[in-house]
Amino acid sequence: MSTIRIRPSLGVLAALLAIPAATAAQAPTATTAAPTAAEADAFVADAEKQLAAVSVPNNRINWVNATYITDDTDALAAADNARLTELQVKLANEAARFATVKSLSYDTRRKLDLLRGGIVLPAADRPGAADELAMLTTRMASGYGKGRGTLDGKPINGSDIEAAMGTSRDPAKLQEMWTSWHDNVGAPMRADYQRMSVLANEGAKGLGYADTGAMWRSGYDMPPEQFAALTDRIWGEVKPLYLALHTYVRWKLNEKYGDAVQPRTGPIRADLLGNMWAQEWGNIYDVVAPKGAGDLGYDVGELLKARQYDPVRMVKQGEAFYSSLGFAPLPESFWQRSQIVKPADREVICHASAWDLDNADDIRIKMCTKVNGDDFTTIHHELGHNYYQRAYKAQPFLYKNGANDGFHEAIGDTIALSITPDYLVNIGLLNRAQVPGPDKDIGLLLRQAMDKVAFLPFGLLIDKWRWQVFSGQIAPGGYQAGWDALRLQYQGVKPPVARDETKFDPGAKYHVPAGVPYTRYFLARVLQFQFYEAACRQAGWKGPLHRCSFYDNKEVGRRLNAMLAMGQSKPWPDALQTFTGSREMSGKALIAYFAPLKTWLDQQNKGKPQGW
Ligand code: X8Z
Ligand code: ZN
């Protein structure tokens, strides 16, 4: 089973401790005597055995489907995912039978809870439900993979259009790419998404949850309402920094494009930010760079090109970082079986992912790598998943997962924060003389903030939208309006052209058709700064935080591995404490990292309109 749930039905492992009150009432009435703790132990052991056995062929089927999309591989994947979902639902229902058993061991209790809460898109326990759900999710995910936009009227695939959104500065071309992608990829999924939500909700209710969103929010070792409040609290911590960045960037875009393209007030036009979804803005750093202090003198993508890096060498360079921390090299099979570049002759899902095919050593990445800075970062991100998977391979099946899903997303990003100018010198990408001096600190921080800070409201709102869809607060007739409202409220961005309810812009973002929950990336955005701050402290770093690279530090590697090896065996605060000493997820480390930039932005923004 690939523990990062690439396919919705692979969701055995999500996580949860709190069983909703409704559960006990809905548990099947025992026809025999109440089960014993020993029976619960035996049930869990058998469930783990069954799931481990079916997960391996299921992973292989999904791998082949994602790397070779045809009607046949779609049909095979849908059928196998349906069988897996049926097994998961059956085990989840049986697990509920043991919920009231007294004196369960810690592990049996935890594993029963994981069995119950860990299905991402559950199907109802009735014939045909799992098949219909799997058919819909496969059709949406593959439809996304095969999607095309246009540029200059000609078709352009997903990975090419993503790269072109990063480099083009022509508002007409940006608008064409943005609109064609959203119209061609998103809109056709609308009906399937609606039906999928009905089916998944039916499944979630059958398992005792209010709806699918409540089930997702239950995977964090705390009651679902408390988790929603935690994400809002973290957003509150980082929001002033986001607002300051938004104010500054809007001003710069107005300077570059003029009032007709980007007015001085109101939301930012979403296609001007260097990314199809306006989720990370680093690609337009050149547009916002402050004079003098903003010229960093290098761009990672250009350095890679200048040194003739190819995608495989980029991955090797990523591996070398982990090796420097003391992690064993990737297995030979990784190099033989990964998809590192886009195959020329077939449809694939280009959106990057990391896989663990056999719950042990057959780890791989699937990317359509281009030689640019974004993909260099993404390589470190994906490898973080693979090293996590390998670190917890000795755990029992139900614990082979991140402490929570945000941890899984944060590890590789933590490593990538160490790609500092000094590190680039270390690996021969940058000459010592090119290292930007302290006068460039603001530029370096702004470059990072364009990716890291800009992402925060986006990371939150994707699931705000889905939570509201699952709860019925956003009705099918308001899918698009609800999406636009959240984009405006949280990000302060607006589409370049008017949208209506024939559109379905959420479907143009991979994780929505693929059924991958997104709050994990919001959590990861703050967690990675907590991990990075802790690693730099362990390394004895004394300078400005953003200049710290813990490359080659075996002690940091040893301590990181200790957290990773725990998998999901303990509540996430225990794992967090193991590495950072703290039990709280919070935005404080991120705020500390960017503190000098915040001061600078506040000076720049004096007298400028803020908000939208
Ligand atoms: O989907 C991803 C990874 C795969 S787990 C490439 N990310 C999010 C996205 O692309 O939207 C990483 C950052 C956010
Ligand atoms: Zn990831």
d(C-alpha 220, C-alpha 379), whole Å:
27
Q: Which of 398, 332, 336 is nearest to 567 (CA)?
A: 398
Output the pLDDT for position 165: 98
| Strands (DSSP E) found in 352-422 | 353-356, 363-366
In a domain, 160, yes or no: no
Output the pLDDT for position 9: 34
d(C-alpha 399, C-alpha 404), whole Å:
11
Return the active site residues: 382, 511
Question: Is any ligand 1 atom within 6 A of the Cβ of residue 575?
Answer: no
pLDDT single digits (tens) 477-502: 999 999 999 999 999 999 999 999 99
Asked if residue 33 has pLDDT above 80, the reply is no
Which residues, 6+ apart, have CB-to-CB distance to 250 below 8 Å? Answer: 262, 264, 268
Domain span holding position 506? 229-301+402-604
Residue in 7, 521, 523, 528 to alter for ligand 1 test, most ligand atoms within 8 A of Cβ: 521
Q: Is 243 exposed, middle or buried (0-12, 13-18, 19+ CB in 10 A)?
A: middle
166-177 average pLDDT score = 98
- Categorize the per-residue pLDDT at 29 as very low, low, confident or very high, splitting at 50, 70 and 90: very low
pLDDT single digits (tens) 233-251: 999 999 999 999 999 999 9
Output the pLDDT for position 99: 87
In a domain, 8, yes or no: no
Output the pLDDT for position 21: 35
Q: Is 479 exposed, middle or buried (0-12, 13-18, 19+ CB in 10 A)?
A: buried
The string of DSSP letters for 139-191 reads: HHHHHHHT-EEEETTEEEEHHHHHHHHHH---HHHHHHHHHHHIIIIIGGGHH
In a domain, 583, yes or no: yes
pLDDT single digits (tens) 74-133: 999 999 999 999 999 999 999 999 989 999 999 999 999 999 999 999 999 999 999 999
- For 346, other C-beta atoms within 10 Å of its C-beta total 11
- Ligand 1: nearest atom to the Cα of 510: 11
Q: How many domains does the chain have?
A: 1
In a domain, 139, yes or no: no
Dig out the tokens for 477 from the structure.
Answer: 């007739």
Question: Is any ligand 1 atom within 6 A of the Cβ of residue 352?
Answer: yes
In a domain, 384, yes or no: no
Mean pLDDT (the chain, rounded): 94
Q: What are phi and psi of 149, to 5 degrees?
A: -110, -165
Quick one: which ligand is closest to 511's CA?
1
Residue in 378, 411, 458, 519 to alter for ligand 1 test, most ligand atoms within 8 A of Cβ: 378
In a domain, 216, yes or no: no
Asked if residue 55 has pLDDT above 50, the reply is yes
Three-class DSSP category at 3: coil
Output the pLDDT for position 31: 53
Output the pLDDT for position 20: 34
In a domain, 597, yes or no: yes
d(C-alpha 267, C-alpha 374), whole Å:
25
Question: Is any ligand 1 atom within 6 A of the Cβ of residue 522?
Answer: no
Three-class DSSP category at 285: helix
Quick one: which ligand is closest to 352's CA?
1
Output the pLDDT for position 114: 98
Output the pLDDT for position 8: 34
Asked if residue 166 has pLDDT above 90, the reply is yes
- Ligand 1: nearest atom to the Cα of 409: 5
pTM metric for this prediction: 0.95
